A and B are shown apart, each in its own frame.
Chain A
Amino acid sequence: MNIPKLIYGSRLNFKELVHNFFATIAGLSIISLEFFRQVFLPPYEIAEIRKHMNELGIKTFPIVSITGLIIGLVLAMQSQPVFVRFGASDFLPGTVALSVVRELGPVITALIFAGRVSSGIGAELGSMRVTEQIDAMEVSAVNPFRYLIVTRVIATTMILPVLTIYVIFLAVFGGYIAVIITENMSFAYYKNAVISSIQYGDLIPGIAKTFIFGFIVGIVGSYKGFTAEGGTEGVGKASTTSVVIASLLILLVDVVLVKLTLLVWPTT
């Protein structure tokens, strides 16, 4: 039985799969090192970074808005009966806020962002690669790595934390909507309960890790797009594998970061 074939529906054998896995890890490591080597070198292409940040923000704004509201709404709706049963309704706002700030907000926003943006970058750069636009840039004596990759990775790294903060606010508000459907709780009481339950030890690691998630989304999409080959099929592959790899890396890195956070802030 060929397990990789069953899972991936491809003709890859196990040896090729392992080879591809390590090749991807090596490729991502090299491109990340190259990013840090080139990010401080001029020209800085500020206009291009600003353009990408605007585009990414606008592109993902509707979907993260809906997601944010629903996370809070569903979380509060699911938790409320349990809290009521134990007579602990007062703890509901804090629980919703803590869950959203520490884990759900950053991770779900990053996953949505990966699905929307990593695939977009993979497809865009992949298409540029197979239509020789990247070669055209290179023969014009323009560094395509700096112009295409560095600008996009900076944009994703900077915009994801902003989106996450927005999602957290919406999710907390969504939680309030769920609460007032069944309970008589004032917005001022809910707000105070939320604020008093959140500490810097919750907020800082939650937001800080979104910079890393944003970097992952940008670097994975860029890597898969930049190395795409084989015409339109290669572009499609770059787009889909970008999402898969970025999402998996976000989840894996999150586990490590949660452990690190607990080491740095053991009391939280």
Chain B
Amino acid sequence: MADNLITIENLSKGFNGKMILNNLNMSVFRGENLVVFGKSGSGKSVLLKCIIGLMKPDSGKIYVGDRELEKMNSDELNTFRKRTGFLFQGAALYDSMSVRENLAFPLIRNTEMNKQERDKKIINTLDLVSLGEAIDKMPSELSGGMRKRIGLARAIITDPEIMFYDEPTTGLDPITSKEISELIIALQHRLHMTSIVVTHDLICAKIISDRSIFLKDGDIIYNGILADLAGSDDPFLKNFFSDEPIKSGD
């Protein structure tokens, strides 16, 4: 329990009468890279949004350390959020702001840095994601891979303790996808963060994962290392990770 950074107990969340997460129990350990697998609509993103407080669970408890998320007031919730970074599926860059302004946004509001310090931090962070030249570009001028990198830069600019990645490689070509995955692991080693990565990209998971869980029907059906998950005898898991066409009845 001492290493538990996030503990989830009996978490349930449904939409329009359909349960997406059903009495889910799990823990995230400090310093690990946890990959969350599951089919589309299995509740992976919902799980992330419940942990960060963007969605309110129907029932169950989420603990950050030993503090229950539900019982945090808005100041405490903001303090928790300042310790986190979130890379959204579509990067969620602010359209009306340049790359520089996107990165400055959390710094202006959450730190005491002056303009010089902020500029230095922005340039250093952009160098980490190898996109220093994009500093004065608008999001509409960036490619999908560049947007993800800038989104990642914005998420890590406040040196978060916990990183949430929602489908970090979706919609990218295999090479860019691999580059983003390697960037994530490089940043993880450099900044010593705890990461929760929602994905169904096996290559990304292979690069990132310390531990994997698999969500199905609102609950975890597998919890362990990726090699065992990919080699599982369970017909559903076998089919999920198989290159072969889906057999009827599976």
Contacts and interface: CB of A to CB of B under 8 A. Distances in A.
Contact of B109 (A127, A132, A142): A142
A138 B54 contact: yes
Chain A residues touching B, range: 10 to 19
B110 A132 contact: no
A141 interface: yes
Nearest to B151: A136
A128 B97 CA distance: 12
Contacts of A268: none
A139 B94 contact: no
Contact of A140 (B79, B90, B109): B109
Interface string B134-177: 00000000000000000000100000000000000000000000
A135 B95 contact: no
Interface in A201-246: none
A54 interface: no
Interface string A104-147: 00000000000000000000100110011101111111100000
Contacts of B82: 141
B95 A141 contact: no
B67 to A, nearest CB: 16
Contacts of B89: 132
Given A140-B81, A141-B82, A135 B109 contact: no
Given A132-B89, A132-B92, A135-B92, A140 B54 contact: no
A87 interface: no
B93 interface: yes
Interface residues of B, number: 22
A128 B105 CA distance: 15
Interface string A38-68: 0000010000000000000000000000000
A124 B96 CA distance: 10
A135 to B, nearest CB: 5
Contact of B54 (A128, A131, A139, A142): A139
Given A43-B109, A132-B89, A132-B90, A139 B95 contact: no
B88 A136 contact: yes
A43 B95 CA distance: 22
Interface of A: 43, 124, 127-128, 131-133, 135-142
8 contacts: A124-B96, A131-B90, A132-B88, A133-B93, A141-B78, A141-B79, A141-B82, A142-B105
Task: List 10 tightest A-B contacts by C-beta distance, closest first.
Answer: A136-B92, A141-B78, A132-B92, A141-B81, A140-B106, A139-B86, A132-B88, A141-B82, A133-B92, A142-B109
